[in-house]
Structure formats: structure tokens, C-alpha cells
């Protein structure tokens, strides 16, 4: 019963998490797009009102004309909409999901004894240190370099080095799948922390000053605007890498690769580069930035390079290798699989505790244990390379010969 309810909890949280993440990233993309496409207004009335940029758009049958105020708007005589629940809900649901899977079921999902053999408590606490630690270091750096002329570039460089180091560390401490999620969650936590600790508090101070009717120091308020913008720009570059890390954790081609930390880092780099292409592309149309294509090319080159580099080597179809019988396969499966897929435990409703069940699932077994190498889970039962090869030869021999 408990497992059954856990499954539901997991499914519902995942659903919620994706919905609110779409709302968050969607509105974030929209505002970045808006900022890059604003043009100075022609209408003198708008200029007098203090509008610094405007844009025209058509959507869903109506025309929209958003305007951005360069400084303080004269007065806000209607509801002021805020954007923070999308971000908080994404973090809360994501953290809930992470706790349910990786902290609660740490021995199954967080720990891979072949990578690093430690207690669930130590592994869980360390995972949390990742989430918190990255934010603390990044936030200190961003503050320290805020007024530096090349501050943004330095923060960018430092974040790259730090993320590479953390990718390495996470993949040497946690199960591959967990390491990817932890890297995604680490950066995503910083994104929400940016909203929670910097962007929204700054906006509250500004709104309070503007609406209180009291005199305020324009320069002091401008600081909050600039800092909010800085953090929001950082968040933009984090989005694609985070989404990749979150999604790729289901892709065993990557998460079970011996050099997976490099793959993860390169793919996140490709994501940030492609995001830069889109950010710059909007502004480039208006002549506000350099040509964006190099960024897209770097991103695509990395992806294509990895697709080529990771192409599967086919199972050795050594003509001299002995044929593998069903009995031999059954012996391997009994030893390596049925502790999780037998009469007592049936992970993912899969049972292989009879020759018939094995034959019926031949393709599944081949796919999971030979092609994807995802099973046995974290290789908990210590399957050997030659056993994988044997499963592969058995399965391939069952296939009808390919006609020339
Ligand atoms: C330590 C436990 C464990 C062992 C041992 C194990 N598995 Fe699994 N297996 C799992 C879990 C957990 C899942 C569900 C994974 C998920 O939800 O992503 C699973 C899922 C599967 C699936 C379904 C995959 C899918 O997503 O459709 C297949 C097929 C499978 N295992 C085959 C095998 C084979 C073959 C072996 C032995 C070579 C094996 N398993 C050994 C835990 C194990």
C-alpha cells in the first residue's frame, strides 16, 4: 500500500512540477523576449509619461502594446501583477519530488555502491549541501563583482568552472541518474533563490518607495533595478542547462556512461550557448547586438559531436563465440535480476523468474541490460561484461536473419 501511494505521490508531484515550471520558464522567456524587442516610443505622449520602450504584438485575436518605463512610473493606478509563485511552486514541487525519490529511497536512487559506498544519511546531507553551497558561493561572487566593469563576465567564467567541478564531484559521489538530477536541482535552487532573496525583495523596496508618496533616493532604488536585472539575466542562462539535466536523468546512455560528468557539463554548456543565441537574436534584429549565429553553432557542434562520439558499438557478433542457450540466460537472470524482478519484488511490474517470462521479455531484457545498460539498477547485483555480451548474443540469435 505504501509503495502504491508513493507512486501516486510521485506522479502527481511530477505533473505539478512540470506545469509550474512551464509557467515559470514561459513567463521568464517572455520577459527576456520583451526586453530585447522594445523600441523607443515615437509618440510624444508616451515619451512624456516616461516610457523608455514599447512593443507591438498580436496574439489570440487581439493586439498588445506593452510599455516599459525607464525610471519610476508616475503612478500605478491598477492592480500590479507580480511574478514569483511560478518560481516558488517549481522549487517546492521539485524539492518534494527530490525528497520522495532520492532522499526517502536513497539506497535505491541516490547511492550506487560501485560509484561511492556510503550511508543514506551522509549521501542525503551531501546532496543538500550541493543545493545550498552553490547558491552561497554564486551569490557572494555576484555581490562582490557587482560594480566591477567586467563583473558579469567574471561571474560567468566562475560559474562555468564551478559547475564543471560540481559535475565531476556529483558523478563521483552519487548514482549517475541522481548526479544529473542533483546538478539540475543545484542550479535551479539558485534560480529560485535569485527570485526569493534578490529580485522580489528589491522590487518590494522599489514599489514601497514609489507608492508611499515620500521622497526617495533615485540612485539607491536604481541599484535594486540593476541587481534584479543581473540576476534575471543569469537565470536566463541557467534555464536550458537545468532542463537538460532534469530530463537527461532518464537517459541511461548518458547517466551510465563512465565519463558522464563531461557529457553533462558539455550538454549544459551547449544549452547556455543556445540560450545566448536566442537572447541575442531578438536584439540583433533591432541592431542592438552582434550576430548571434556563432552561439547557435557552438551549441549544435557540441551536440552533434556527442551524438557521434557516443554511437553504440554493436554487440560483438563474433562468429566463433559459442551460442547461448536459454538455460544459460536463465542462470544469469536468476543471479542478476530476479532479486528485483521475481516472485517477491517486481520493479516496474517486470518478472523474469521462469523461462517463459524471460522469453516473453527477451527484447526488454536486451534493451535494458545490453543496449542501455540501465539494468541491473546501479548494477546492484554485479553483472559482468561477459554476461551482458551473452544476453546480447542470445537475443540477437533469436532474430530472423537479415536478408541481403
Ligand atoms: C536492484 C534492483 C534491480 C535489479 C537487480 C534489476 N532491476 Fe530492472 N528495474 C529496477 C527498477 C527500480 C526499475 C524501474 C526503473 C524506473 O522506474 O526507472 C526496473 C525496471 C526494469 C525494466 C523496465 C524498464 C522500463 O522502463 O520499461 C526492465 C525491462 C528491467 N528492469 C530489466 C532488468 C534486467 C534484465 C535485470 C537483470 C539483468 C534487472 N532489471 C535487474 C530494479 C532492478
Pocket test for ligand 1, best of 105, 338, 376, 382 (most atoms within 8 A of CB): 376
CA gap 349, 330 in Å, rounded? 18
Dist. CA 108–CA 378, nearest whole Å: 8
Quick: pLDDT tens for 47-93. 998 899 999 999 999 999 999 987 778 777 789 999 999 999 999 99
7: nearest Cα among 105, 89, 119, 94: 105
pLDDT tens per residue, range 293-317: 999 999 999 999 999 998 866 655 5
Q: How far apart are the first and last CA of the chain?
A: 53
pLDDT at 286: 74
Query: Cα–Cα distances in Å, from 395 out to 98, 99, 392?
Result: 36, 38, 5
Ligand 1 centre and the CA of 348: distance in Å? 7
- Cα–Cα distance between 100 and 6 in angstroms, integer? 8
Rounded CA gap, 394 and 386, in Å? Answer: 12
Residue 404 has pLDDT above 80, yes or no: no
**Whole-number pLDDT of residue 144:** 95
Ligand 1 centroid, distance to 332 Cα (angstroms): 14
The residue among 325, 361, 324, 323 whose CA lies nearest residue 341 is 361
% of residues, the chain, pLDDT over 90: 69
Tell me the CA–centroid distance for residue 331 and ligand 1, in Å: 17
348 CB less than 6 Å from ligand 1?
yes
Residues 321, 331: Cα–Cα separation, whole Å: 18
Pocket residue to mutate for ligand 1, from 104, 110, 348, most atoms within 8 A of Cβ = 348
Residue 368 CB–ligand 1 contact under 6 Å: yes
Q: How far is the CA of 164 from the centre of ligand 1 (A)?
A: 30
| pLDDT score recorded for residue 313 | 63
pLDDT at 399 exceeding the cut of 90: no
Q: For residues 147 and 182, which has the higher predicted lDDT (pLDDT)?
A: 182
Buried b (16+ CB within 10 A) or exposed e, 319-344: eeeeebeeebbbebbeebbbebbbee
The answer to whether 246 and 21 have CB atoms below 8 angstroms apart is no
Going from the Cα of 346 to the center of ligand 1, the distance in angstroms, rounded, reads 9
The pLDDT, as a whole number, for residue 194 is 98
User: Is 357 a pocket residue for ligand 1 (Cβ < 6 Å)?
Assistant: no
Nearest atom in ligand 1 to the alpha carbon of residue 361 is: 29
Provide the grid cell at 371.
Answer: 543496449
What contacts 176, CB < 8 A, 6 or more positions away? 112, 115, 252, 254, 255, 256, 257, 260
Please provide the average confidence, as pLDDT, over all residues in the chain: 91
Residue pair 310/388 in contact (Cβ under 8 Å)? The answer is: no
The residues, ordered by sequence, that sit 6+ positions from 66 with a Cβ below 8 Å of its Cβ are 34, 54, 55, 57
C-alpha cell at 148: 566591477
Report yes or no: 292 and 284 within 8 Å, Cβ to Cβ.
yes
Residue 348: pLDDT band by 50, 70, 90 thresholds?
A: confident
Max Cα distance, the chain (Å): 89
Compute, in angstroms, the gap from residue 347 CA to the centroid of ligand 1.
Answer: 6
381 pocket-lining for ligand 1 (C-beta < 6 Å): yes
**Does residue 258 surpass a pLDDT of 90?**
no
Q: What is the pLDDT of residues 160-204, one digit of tens each?
A: 999 999 999 999 999 999 999 999 999 999 999 999 999 999 999
Give yes or no for residue 403 having a pLDDT over 70.
Answer: no
CA 358/CA 330 separation, integer angstroms:
7
Of 106, 333, 341, the one to substitute when testing ligand 1's pocket (max ligand atoms within 8 A of C-beta) is: 341
Q: Which of 242, 270, 231 is nearest to 31 (CA)?
A: 231
Contacts of 46 (CB under 8 A, 6+ apart): 54, 67
**pLDDT for 56-67, tens place per residue?**
999 999 999 999
Amino acid at each position: 500500500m505504501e509503495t502504491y501511494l508513493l507512486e501516486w505521490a510521485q506522479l502527481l508531484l511530477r505533473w505539478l512540477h512540470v506545469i509550474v515550471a512551464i509557467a515559470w520558464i514561459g513567463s521568464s522567456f517572455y520577459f527576456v523576449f520583451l526586453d530585447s524587442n522594445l523600441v523607443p516610443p515615437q509618440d510624444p505622449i508616451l515619451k512624456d509619461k516616461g516610457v523608455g520602450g514599447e512593443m507591438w504584438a498580436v496574439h489570440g485575436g487581439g493586439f498588445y502594446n506593452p510599455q516599459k518605463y525607464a525610471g519610476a512610473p508616475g503612478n500605478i493606478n491598477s492592480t500590479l501583477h507580480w511574478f514569483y509563485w511560478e518560481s516558488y511552486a517549481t522549487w517546492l514541487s521539485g524539492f518534494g519530488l527530490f525528497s520522495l525519490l532520492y532522499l526517502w529511497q536513497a539506497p535505491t536512487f541516490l547511492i550506487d555502491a560501485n560509484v561511492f559506498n556510503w550511508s543514506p544519511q551522509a549521501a542525503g546531507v551531501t546532496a543538500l549541501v550541493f543545493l545550498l553551497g552553490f547558491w552561497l558561493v554564486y551569490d557572494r561572487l555576484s555581490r562582490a563583482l557587482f560594480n566591477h566593469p567586467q563583473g558579469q563576465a567574471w561571474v560567468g567564467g566562475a560559474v562555468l568552472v564551478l559547475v564543471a567541478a560540481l559535475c565531476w564531484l556529483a558523478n563521483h559521489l552519487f548514482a549517475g541518474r541522481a548526479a544529473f538530477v542533483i546538478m539540475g536541482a543545484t542550479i535551479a535552487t539558485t534560480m529560485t533563490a535569485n527570485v526569493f532573496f534578490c529580485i522580489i525583495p528589491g522590487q518590494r523596496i522599489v514599489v514601497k518607495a514609489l507608492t508611499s508618496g515620500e521622497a526617495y533616493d533615485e540612485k539607491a532604488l536604481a541599484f535594486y533595478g540593476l541587481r534584479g536585472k543581473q540576476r534575471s539575466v543569469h537565470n536566463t542562462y541557467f534555464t536550458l542547462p537545468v532542463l537538460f539535466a532534469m530530463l537527461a536523468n532518464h537517459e541511461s546512455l548518458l547517466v551510465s556512461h563512465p565519463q558522464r560528468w563531461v557529457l553533462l557539463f558539455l550538454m549544459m554548456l551547449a544549452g547556455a550557448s543556445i540560450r545566448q543565441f536566442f537572447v541575442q537574436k531578438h536584439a540583433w534584429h533591432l541592431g542592438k547586438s552582434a550576430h548571434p549565429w556563432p552561439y547557435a553553432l557552438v551549441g549544435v557542434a557540441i551536440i552533434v559531436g556527442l551524438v557521434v562520439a557516443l554511437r553504440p558499438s554493436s554487440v560483438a557478433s563474433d562468429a566463433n563465440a559459442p551460442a547461448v542457450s536459454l538455460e544459460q540466460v536463465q542462470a544469469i537472470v536468476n543471479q542478476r535480476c530476479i532479486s528485483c524482478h521475481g516472485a517477491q519484488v517486481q520493479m516496474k511490474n517486470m518478472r523474469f523468474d521462469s523461462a517463459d517470462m524471460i522469453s516473453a521479455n527477451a527484447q526488454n531484457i536486451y534493451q535494458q541490460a545490453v543496449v542501455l545498460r540501465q539494468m541491473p539498477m546501479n548494477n546492484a547485483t554485479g553483472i559482468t561484461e561477459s554476461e551482458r555480451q551473452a544476453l546480447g548474443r542470445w537475443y540477437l540469435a533469436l532474430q530472423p536473419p537479415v536478408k541481403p
